[in-house]
Structure 1
Amino acid sequence: AAEDGVDIISLSITPNRRPPGIATFFNPIDMALLSAVKAGIFVVQAAGNTGPSPKSICSFSPWIFTVGAASHDRIYSNSIVLGNNITIHGVGLAPGTQNDAMYTLVSAAHAVNDTMTSENIYASDCQDSSAFKRDVVRGNILICSYSIRFVLGLATIRQALGTAKDLDAAGVVFYMDPFLLGFQLNPIPMRIPGIVIPSPDDSKVSFLALYIEYFEQSLDFDKFLQIFLEYYNSSLVWDETTRKVVSFGGAACISGGIRANFSHSAPKIMFYSARGPDPEDASFVNADILKPNIVAPGNFIWAAWSSGGSDSVEFQGESFAMMSGTSMAAPHIAGLAALIKQKFPNISPAAIGSALSTTASLYDRNGGPIQAQRTYANPDMGLSTATPFDMGSGFVNATAALDPGLIFDTSYDEYMSFLCGINGSSPVVQNYTGEVCGSSPTLNSIDLNLPSITISKMNSSLVIRRTVINIGSNETYRVSWSEPNGTSIKLAPNQFFIPRGGKQVLSVFFQTTLDSNVASFGRISLVGSLGHSVSIPVSVLVKIYNTTG
């Protein structure tokens, strides 16, 4: 990449486990990326989808810009309206039935050929059109089961849609097997009217909860499937002798899920997005480095897709797919980094990261603090305010990042001084970089000129210095701060003038006010007279209050 003159690398791979050895930073991926930074390349890496547990982050080093995943305000929702005027929400990037007309509901189990035997227990998966009576299904909505076979790849929605089309069905309703507990269902493209109704215990159809939240309804989607099946079964007329259905009384229309709805609840940190604090080594000792660095849209993102790809049967033949994960968030940052590099051609990789970090937003579109999902099951039920270990500096603000005012810069040599300062690291550094640590002064991680301050353990007091560079116009800045619980802060200077291209050293004086092993958070803000605003997250984990002396 360096030889090709690349400016930005977006990486969606991380170490598959916490690297052993003297420090997590010494792994082949991170050290190769350090070489890229040496060549002036800005490196973006997905945080990993191992959240929401603390220290689940899989991207460790200060020279890597680590991106977590957040939701955005575009939501695709689908629904089906029953003949009794009850609306049930579900999944499916599908068109609706024509003109909102009602169509008769017919279960696949009640449309099988008379020649079918009871041994074919999976007929309801709708995988073979020859198994059904065409005259029963034609012009009606076919009901199919979404069983464990779909999860295992033994059945597909694509094949079921083909069955419905062969039988001239007006649409398809899939109902999820109640035994598919905790299965995450992504929006699925459908060429004909269709919808998937979640099972009572399907807790991962999170965009449904968002949809409900948007309309401020109090619907209980745990009962969606039960309501649907009770309505259908109550509408059937049976032959008492043959015990076969002779009349289908249930009807419905599918609204369709192609048009997007927009919610003001975004962004929120997704449950799967990996979390800090950054582990310094395999023994879970914390590093004085903030991870992740930032969050960006990563949930239900339209992504380019190879129509010949075989990774997902449901997306075969499609040119785009709706995907989720930190690998969807990282390219947003890479693209914005390219714009920053275009505007400031001589800017360093660290300075690009600074521009992104110090301008990030802390608030959702309602004006409240960004929330974080903290549980794998029912993720929207246990939201709480996101911390820097959930979202880094915050949610990316593209407009502000292109005009940051001040930046923090860190050079390759400073990263090397940091690595050489790790006890016993000299042979490892030489092995990876070919450079000898020598007798040059070393740096602690806390003294790297990062756009954040993370203190893993503070004993009584500490002084940390940061240097800012003005890449904007001449400006006067006022300094303010909020203190982490158990810590007092003072800054000098609390106001300064800085010309374009000028530098200013900020001294931050910390003092513990109580003993605590609970992480607490604050923030330093630099507000300029021309409207620039620079935000620096402060995280303090262990605080030791010494009353002696």
Structure 2
Amino acid sequence: MKNNTYEAGLPLADWNSISRCTIITVHDDDQKIIGARYYLKHYEAEHGPVKEKMEFRSPRDKNGHGTHTASTIGGRRVPNASSLGGFANGTASGGAPLVRLAIYKVCWQPDPLDEVVCPDGDTLAAFDDAIKDGVHVISLSIGSNTSSPYAEDGTAIGSLHALKRDIIVVCSAGNSGPTPSSVSNVAPWLISVGASSIDRIFQSTIVLGNGLIVQGRTVTPFRKTKKYPLVYAVDVEIPGKTTNLTTGGCFPGTLSKKLVKGEVVFCWVGFISQALEVRRAGGVAAIFGNPYGGKGVDESPFLLPGTTVLQNDRATIVSYILNNENPTATLFPGRTIIGTGPAPFMAPFTALGPNGIEPNILKPDITAPGLNILAAWTEASPPTQLLQDHRVVKYNIASGTSMSCPHVSTVAALLKAIHPDWSSATIRSSLMTTARRVNNVQIPITDAAENIATPFHYGAGHFQPSKAVDPGLVYDASYTDYLRFLSSSGTAFLDSSFKCPKHVPPPSNLNYPSLAIAKLNSTMTVSRTVTNVGTGNSTYTVSIVPPPGYTVEILPTKLYFSKIGEKQSFSITVKVAASIKKTKFEFGWFAWSDGAGHVVRSPIVVSAA
């Protein structure tokens, strides 16, 4: 530390930074963290000074989110790591444990009940510094409830500047699903990541008084409970504190202490705030209905014994309570079960396409694990992030596209290390065209409600890191290509040195690893160019699964390559073939295969005018 500055070691030849931070003790003998900065000028201009009780006025993490995402990327191998109570026990490791990390803190929480704020001005300042510092990959686990026009989106602007210097930018797609067109971070020069599950659940058994068994989910550590009286929240509420819309929900201040004390309470829906309410009212345990439909449960360690049941089991429990004079329940502690299936499925909260800014670009691009992910946690924040929670943990389970984003960032960093000459667009292409659309039982990936998922859920599919190393062919794009794309939307002014072409290409013509055409009127032909990164002498043949109601023709049907680095172009003609519902999107695929293991697959998304 010199003059309030942490001077990190310089293990990388192209690392340019001396990063600013307040004086903190740094235990980093292997120089994992080579830089740390924080940004708050924009935040303080709008919200006033940072409250020291809420945040560290430094790059240090007081929330847990940054620690979790950073360790997912670069955490060292740690044996016997687990969340509170021993859940998910095993050897934990970041995806790239030898990677170096530079930290740029741009998010701040004004008050305990407020959402975290990440102002664009601070985000752009962080982008500028990261670019000057010489980073190779920027992992941005920051999203919003909606997408914003490129010229009004700090992440889009900052990542365009990063792209100009061939820095890979990976972003969260957002957690506003399953609402259609809720995907955020939709600029085509960045990678947008959805969230899906892994093959692990945390099962907790509930035995009702009549012997009926209901399986729940929990990461709350507790011992087997006694057989306690079971009540439905509707029957133990304070008169006048609920409405027809909130009754049964165990919302704060709604439960009667007199009626709840010593009981197990069933809440129609519930998460950590409902657990607090049952605890306040004197309940001994709680059973919650999953806030989300289907089988995806976002786990958190409650402050009292509790478990969450799937929505289709709620009626079973209510019926038992209503039809028995003295209903009871026994809760058994949760246990980690590995190897479950089908997996992955799409997380219930993952934001969906179509792209709300430019529907002729498919977003999200890809999906990766983001449901109940174990990673490191700051000891400055309890596992629930609640003021009432005084527990301290080193590892925690968290969910969100914030958790899936660093999985893809990790693979991008590894690909850049293996192929240092690959561009940002090449790396995105290798990830997308090698992604899979089937789960571990070899059937199509579904959403949490077990409906077949579409490219609006997962883009090109669930990532496959080992296959992305050798994709065969890639779709590359330059900074100028993206400026031409912006010309079609009137936002090429983001670079004043660029002169828009007289004939502006349609957005669908961008050399992207997927194809989206919105409001197709009869017929459209676009072109694509692929670069051979596989074997020298190779021939690729195309196969097509057209979207229902459309025909798709690709010419030529074979591509011949004589050397690595060679480029070949082809045309794609999409035509409305039948009377179909206007504005409704349909989905298809095309793939190039060399018969030697390379299958370069791209989704097609089309709607008719």
Same fold by TM (over 0.5)? yes
Q: Separation in 2 of the partners of 1:154 and 1:449?
A: 48
Q: What is aligned with 1:122?
A: 257
Alpha-carbon contact 2:155-2:185 (below 8 Å) kept = no
Q: What is aligned with 2:299?
A: 187
Amino acid at match of 1:337: A
Q: Separation in 2 of the partners of 1:181 and 1:158?
A: 17
Closer, same or farther: CA 52–175 of 1 in aligned 2, 3 Å? closer
Query: In the alignment, is residue 293 of structure 1 matched against residue 365 of structure 2?
Result: yes
Alpha-carbon contact 1:189-1:314 (below 8 Å) kept = no
Query: In the alignment, is residue 469 of structure 1 matched against residue 598 of structure 2?
Result: no
| Equivalences for residues 58-457 of structure 1 within 5 A | 58-81=184-207, 85-94=211-220, 97=223, 103=226, 105=228, 121-122=256-257, 143-145=263-265, 156=276, 173-176=285-288, 186-189=298-301, 194-196=305-307, 198=309, 203=311, 220-224=313-317, 227=320, 233=326, 252=330, 254-280=331-357, 287-309=359-381, 311-312=385-386, 313-314=388-389, 316-373=391-448, 380=449, 383-423=450-490, 425=491, 429=493, 432-437=494-499, 442-457=504-519
User: Displacement, 1:149?
Assistant: 13
Q: What is aligned with 1:35?
A: 161
Q: What is aligned with 1:521?
A: 587
Alignment identity in percent?
A: 30
Is there any run of 5+ residues in structure 2 with no aligned partner, and where? 1-129, 232-254
Amino acid at match of 2:286: F
Q: What is aligned with 2:555?
A: 492
Alpha-carbon contact 1:78-1:195 (below 8 Å) kept = no
TM-superposition CA deviations, 1:431-466 (whole Å, max 9, x none): x43434355764332111101111113333222111
User: Displacement, 1:307?
Assistant: 2.4
Closer, same or farther: CA 324–354 of 1 in aligned 2, 3 Å? same
TM-superposition CA deviations, 1:354-406 (whole Å, max 9, x none): 00100110112222112224xxxxxx2xx422222222111111221122111
Alpha-carbon contact 2:228-2:264 (below 8 Å) kept = no
Q: What is aligned with 1:512?
A: 576
Amino acid at match of 1:7: H
Q: What is aligned with 1:503?
A: 567
* Larger RCO (alpha carbons 8 Å, 6+ apart): 1
Alpha-carbon contact 2:342-2:440 (below 8 Å) kept = yes
Alpha-carbon contact 2:146-2:184 (below 8 Å) kept = yes
Q: Separation in 1 of the partners of 2:272 and 2:415?
A: 44
Q: What is aligned with 2:172?
A: 46
Q: Separation in 2 of the partners of 1:155 and 1:368?
A: 37
Alpha-carbon contact 1:418-1:445 (below 8 Å) kept = yes
Q: What is aligned with 2:181?
A: 55
User: Displacement, 1:106?
Assistant: 7.0
Amino acid at match of 1:512: V
Q: Separation in 2 of the partners of 1:228 and 1:197?
A: 17
Q: What is aligned with 1:535?
A: 601
Q: Separation in 2 of the partners of 1:413 and 1:296?
A: 29
Q: What is aligned with 1:241?
A: none
Amino acid at match of 1:514: A
- TM-score scaled by length of structure 2: 0.65
The 3-state SS of whatever aligns with 1:259 is strand
Q: Separation in 2 of the partners of 1:158 and 1:9?
A: 42
Alpha-carbon contact 1:420-1:437 (below 8 Å) kept = no
Q: Separation in 2 of the partners of 1:341 and 1:490?
A: 34
Q: How many residues align?
A: 450
Q: Separation in 2 of the partners of 1:315 and 1:73?
A: 31
Alpha-carbon contact 2:370-2:401 (below 8 Å) kept = yes
Cα RMSD over matched residues? 3.7
TM-superposition CA deviations, 1:389-424 (whole Å, max 9, x none): 22211111122112211111001111112213434x
Alpha-carbon contact 1:25-1:60 (below 8 Å) kept = no
Q: Separation in 2 of the partners of 1:146 and 1:62?
A: 45
Aligned mate of 1:14, from 137, 143, 165: 143
Q: Separation in 1 of the partners of 2:421 and 2:297?
A: 45
Q: Separation in 1 of the partners of 2:481 and 2:183?
A: 23
